[in-house]
Amino acid sequence: MDSEALKKYSALHPKPAGLTLQYGTAGFRTKAEQLDHVMFRMGLLAVLRSKAVASTIGVMVTASHNPEEDNGVKLVDPLGEMLHPSWEEYATQLANAEDHELQKIINEICQKAAVNQHKDASVFIGRDTRPSSEKLSQSVIDGISVLGGQYHDYCLVTTPQLHYMVRCQNTRGQYGKATLEGYYEKLSKAFTELIKQSPSSGDHQRHLKIDCANGIGALKLSEMEPYLPKEVLIHLYNDGTKEKLNHLCGADFVKAHQKPPRGLDMKPNERCCSFDGDADRIVYYYMDATGHFHLIDGDKIATLISIFLKELLAKVGQALQMAVIQTAYANGSSTRYLEETLKVPVHCVKTGVKHLHHKAQEFDIGVYFEANGHGTVLFSKAAETQIRQLAKEEKDDEKKEAAKVLENMIDLINQTVGDAISDMLVIEAILALKGLTVQEWDAIYTDLPNRLLKVQVADRRVIDTTDAERRAVTPPGLQEKIDALVRKYKLSRAFVRPSGTEDVVRIYAEADTQENADALAHEVSLAVYHLAGGKGAPPQP
């Protein structure tokens, strides 16, 4: 390693005094002007990680659903998954090191992680449409180059597309071609095959309005449009030509405010969906004849996919084990429907995509979605091999057809990470094949009314949880108090958990009516305020 070059380049990307950042589930995220040194150093880290695992590593420059002024960066591991937790530590150390300590910290990482400095390194880079992203990705390139790494810059891509490229590269093309064209071809071919089987349900079924959050999703969907079959008519709104990224639009806005995004005119019973800023989340919604807004979130998407896969598995007659993975935020009605009506096992894990993804890997088929619309389906190697073999060799026609549909689903789903484009095509294919309208999908079960609140506390660490964050262990007496409050209401539950990023405690409550859910959430917030060191004035109803 050329320490003079490192010194010289590091001086071009100095660390602002007194700034400390933490690498979390979303990587690093903050105001764009504070990130130059972090980008340079993540270029360095990507090279070290690549040498350590002798594979291509991805670096994505994005802050997803955050405001346009923010930016961020996350690393992508060899199979398109999130960075290994032990390396999150190294990322945090490297980002917070003083300029003169860089060399020392790099040497320490190499020692701890057994990095072979003589190995080649290869890094894929992508970025979103933020004004700051191009310059910041150049800083990443500086970091890669100083340590002699090779790189390929994909420029503007969705986050899931970069994850996909990394996996294609490291599976030597087994997962697909590591090009945008390869991505569009693989997904559109599988989608076209699926749509062929659908009972013709008239032209009106095929229109879909998409709010692209004024982000990268609009660019990539318009690139993909020529690949899609003529029956599908997608109409893009908030395409980034007029308004700011994520401003009053996008999946996160729609989910949080339970109302349509700005810039999309909804007519009764039209199917609409929203992507988030980097196109890794999706939610659907529609307005009924009375003008009432209906949100279809990640829980209902997971349920639709599970119903469809379960029917296909019954047809192919294979004993493949399927499960749905949720967090404590999943609506109680969805859990009840999956377990009691559909008879599919449901597992609850801690909040955060990495926990869901990890648990989903334990099954032949693992379906996971967060309520916010981030999710995908994982197929085990054995299940995939079995399904592809049946699609090729099965003598029984019905079984063979079902296996072919499953095979196309495997190709349509981006198994690396939640992908709004891929998830949208999966949903559109299932609705077409089952002949379902958006209202019929919504009516599968009715969400229990719920309320999310947060309470400011002096120190969020006073709250410790267990049972996938559904029960509080500390402070003493809090859980008993919550249990007593929950007993007052029908079909109710509530839980509290410390925020991962700020000194607030998040509260979730659901009950048989909105009034009761609101009352329960408020009473729980008072209990947190009094028992966990609330700051400022007590919560008001």
Q: Domain containing 35 — which CATH number?
A: 3.40.120.10
Question: What local confidence, expressed as pLDDT, does residue 500 receive?
Answer: 76
- Domain co-membership, 327 together with 246: no
Whether 438 is in a domain gets the answer no
Tokens at 326, concatenated = 């949720």
The CATH number that applies at residue 482 is 3.30.310.50
- Residue 386 CB contacts under 8 Å (≥ 6 apart), including other chains: 318, 320
Res 466 pLDDT > 60: yes
- Residue 108 CB contacts under 8 Å (≥ 6 apart), including other chains: 93
The CATH number that applies at residue 225 is 3.40.120
Mean pLDDT score, 520-533? 97
Mean pLDDT score, 31-52? 97
Tokens at 357, concatenated = 């993804």
Given 279, 294, 309, the domain boundary residue is 294
Residue that the structure tokens 């999908």 belong to = 441
Mean pLDDT score, 470-496? 97
63 is in an annotated binding site: no
- Domain co-membership, 9 together with 140: yes
497 is in an annotated binding site: yes
DSSP 358-394: HHHTTSSEEEEE-TTS-EEEEE-HHHHHHHHHHHHH-
Question: What local confidence, expressed as pLDDT, does residue 200 receive?
Answer: 65
- Domain co-membership, 272 together with 357: no
276 is in an annotated binding site: yes
pLDDT > 70: percent of the chain: 99
- Domain co-membership, 290 together with 322: no
* Partners of 441 in beta bridges: none
- The average confidence (pLDDT) of the chain is 95
Identify whether the C-beta of residue 438 lies closer than 8 Å to the C-beta of residue 271. Answer: yes
Identify whether the C-beta of residue 385 lies closer than 8 Å to the C-beta of residue 320. Answer: no
Q: Which residue has the higher pLDDT, 199 or 364?
A: 364
Tokens at 363, concatenated = 């099954």
Cβ neighbour number for residue 397 with a 10 Å cutoff: 8
Whether 541 is in a domain gets the answer no
Given 294, 313, 328, the domain boundary residue is 294
- Domain co-membership, 314 together with 381: yes
160 is in an annotated binding site: no
Question: What local confidence, expressed as pLDDT, does residue 204 receive?
Answer: 46
Question: What local confidence, expressed as pLDDT, does residue 235 receive?
Answer: 96
41 is in an annotated binding site: no
- Domain co-membership, 9 together with 151: yes
Res 26 pLDDT > 90: no
77 is in an annotated binding site: no
370 is in an annotated binding site: yes
C-alpha–C-alpha distance, residues 396 and 1, integer Å = 61
Given 140, 156, 172, the domain boundary residue is 156
Q: What is the pLDDT of residues 278-300, one digit of tens each?
A: 999 999 999 999 999 999 999 99
Report phi then psi at 446, rounded to 5: -105, 125
Question: What local confidence, expressed as pLDDT, does residue 198 receive?
Answer: 81
- Domain co-membership, 15 together with 123: yes
Report phi then psi at 540, rounded to 5: -100, 145
Whether 431 is in a domain gets the answer no
Whether 430 is in a domain gets the answer no
Name the CA radius of gyration of the chain, rounded: 24
* Structural domain count, the chain: 4
Mean pLDDT score, 236-255? 95
* Partners of 349 in beta bridges: 327
- Domain co-membership, 252 together with 320: no
Identify whether the C-beta of residue 36 lies closer than 8 Å to the C-beta of residue 139. Answer: yes
- Domain co-membership, 394 together with 255: no
Q: CA 471, 337, 303 angle in degrees (round to 5)? A: 100
Half-sphere exposure of 151 (CA within 13 A, CB side): 27
The SS3 of residue 234 is: strand
Q: Which amino acid, 376?
A: T
Whether 339 is in a domain gets the answer yes
Confidence of residue 123 (pLDDT cuts 50, 70, 90): very high
The SS3 of residue 531 is: helix
C-alpha–C-alpha distance, residues 272 and 285, integer Å = 5
How close are the terminal C-alpha atoms of the chain, in Å?
A: 60
Q: What is the pLDDT of residues 362-403, one digit of tens each?
A: 999 999 999 999 999 999 999 999 999 999 999 999 999 999
69 is in an annotated binding site: no
> Would you please indicate which residues are annotated as catalytic (active-site) residues?
64
Whether 303 is in a domain gets the answer yes
Whether 165 is in a domain gets the answer no
Res 31 pLDDT > 80: yes
467 is in an annotated binding site: no
Whether 435 is in a domain gets the answer no
Q: Given the DSSP bridges, would you call strands 464-466 and 346-349 parallel, antiparallel or unpaired?
A: unpaired
Number of alpha helices (DSSP H) and beta strands (DSSP E) in the chain: 18, 19
- Give the residue among 189, 185, 47, 223 at the shortest CA–CA distance from 122: 47
140, 261, 262 from 266: Cα distances, Å: 41, 10, 10
Res 274 pLDDT > 90: yes
Least confident range from 229-233, 327-331, 418-422, 426-430: namely: 229-233
Tokens at 105, concatenated = 């910290």
- Domain co-membership, 326 together with 408: yes
Identify whether the C-beta of residue 500 lies closer than 8 Å to the C-beta of residue 460. Answer: no
Q: What is the pLDDT of residues 393-446, one digit of tens each?
A: 999 999 999 999 999 999 999 999 999 999 999 999 999 999 999 999 999 999
What residues make up the domain containing 283?
Answer: 182-294
335 is in an annotated binding site: no
501 is in an annotated binding site: yes
371 is in an annotated binding site: yes
- Domain co-membership, 286 together with 303: no
498 is in an annotated binding site: yes
- Domain co-membership, 375 together with 400: yes
Identify whether the C-beta of residue 269 lies closer than 8 Å to the C-beta of residue 438. Answer: yes
C-alpha–C-alpha distance, residues 447 and 495, integer Å = 17
